[in-house]
Amino acid sequence: MWNNKSGSAVLLSIFLSAIIITVAIGFNWLVKEHVKTAIGFKNKSRAMVKVYSAIDTLTYVILTGRKTADGIEFSDRSLLGISGIGANNRPLTVWKEVEISVQDTNGMVSLYNLDVGLFENLMKVIKIANYKEISDSVSDWVDSDNIEKAQGAENNYYTSMNKEYWPRNKNVEYLEELLLIRGMNRQIFGQLEPYLTTMPSTGFNPKAASDELMMAFFKIDRKTMLKYRTSPCATIRSVFNIDAEDEAVEFCTMSGNLVLTVRYGDGAGNSLYSVNMGIGLIETNLYPYQIYYWKEG
């Protein structure tokens, strides 16, 4: 009898202990998850504040700086700890952990004032096989008429493909709109996106252009491009016979329409928070510059 009672008490103790341990482990896990979430929020908030602060400072030093062919020389070198930044999208690290970059639209293909020849050459350089279909279809998408180019697409094409839309017949308003156009798919879009902008350009600036765009503009191979990649503008102008009197196309200047990117990372290559904005350094009565678009997250 005594033994049986003792056995029951031991079993009860084991049972109660198991419950207490399970609850304790669960509580411990819950607390750990809460702490993890809190740290995540703290890091995210810190990243947001740093990014907002950096983009404000970057905008200020750009507005008060001096535009050159290569980029912008800052008037106040102490704010970001650098004396200037190139307009070729090359990232610079400031304040130890924030990455900033600036890209002028004269080093991109503008969909606002599309140079079809440059667009086609770029697609040839980056090896997009159906480049003609894409350039004709993009031209049809933005031109005001309903007359199809050789490999283009107007209302009839999209209706026949059971699409519930027709070409805008005006300028593209956002890059992802290209995914609606004949010949385009996600993979090609991904290849093209870094070179394209919906903002206006005013000419071509090899100092702001990527290697591929430089090859496309001058219709040269990689080897020739690398030979002149870092040459002064005057040399490039004379080697490639750029007419100095041709006012229609500005050469080696900045348009002043800029893509600004500010990113805060975790030090392991992951972005915790970033802002990407398109601005135009065009002063009006009310504002010192224009914001064309703003993306953050």
- Residue 250 as a binder of Ca ion (CB under 5 A): the answer is no
**104 contacts Ca ion (rule: CB under 5 A):** no
Look at the block and give the residue holding tokens 């080093």: 107
Q: Which of residues 266-295 bind Ca ion (CB under 5 A)?
A: none
The residue at minimum Cβ distance from Ca ion is 143
Nearer to Ca ion, 143 or 212 (CB): 143
CB of 137 to Ca ion, least distance (A): 10
Tokens of 281: 């350094």
Per CB under 5 A, does 136 bind Ca ion?
no
Residue with tokens 């810190």: 46
Asked whether position 143 contacts Ca ion by CB under 5 A, the answer is yes
Q: How far apart are CA 192 and CA 120, in angstroms?
A: 11
Closest by CA to 148, choosing from 160, 159, 158, 136, is 136
169 is a site residue for Ca ion (CB under 5 A): yes
Of residues 160 and 187, the one with the C-beta less far from Ca ion: 160
Cα dihedral 88, 89, 91, 92 sign: positive
- Options 122, 134, 140, 218; binder of Ca ion; rule CB under 5 A: 140
Stretch that binds Ca ion, among 110-118, 135-143, 209-217, 220-228 (CB under 5 A): 135-143
* Nearest residue (CB) to Ca ion, 44 versus 168: 168
Rounded least distance, CB 87 to Ca ion, Å:
33
3-state secondary structure of 13: helix
* 104 vs 140, beta carbon nearer Ca ion: 140
CB of 169 to Ca ion, least distance (A): 5
Cβ count within 10 A of residue 199: 21
- Cα–Cα distance for residue pair 29/31, rounded to 1 Å: 5
Q: Which is nearer to Ca ion, 89 or 139 (CB)?
A: 139
3-state SS assignment for residue 4: helix
Contact stretch for Ca ion (CB under 5 A) within 18-26, 46-54, 164-172, 256-264: 164-172
Checking phi first, is residue 267 left (phi over 0); if not, alpha (psi -120 to 50) or beta?
A: left
C-beta of 48 vs 180, nearer to Ca ion: 180
Q: How far is the CB of 181 from Ca ion (least distance, A)?
A: 11
CA angle 108, 262, 196 (to 5 degrees): 15
Count residues binding Ca ion (CB under 5 A): 4
- Piece of the chain touching Ca ion by CB under 5 A; list 166-174, 199-207, 221-229, 270-278: 166-174
Supply φ then ψ for residue 151, to 5 degrees: -115, 25
Q: CA-CA distance, 263 to 273, in Å (whole number)?
A: 6
Question: Could you give the maximum distance between any two Cα atoms of the chain, in Å?
Answer: 114
Binding site for Ca ion (CB under 5 A): 140, 143, 167, 169
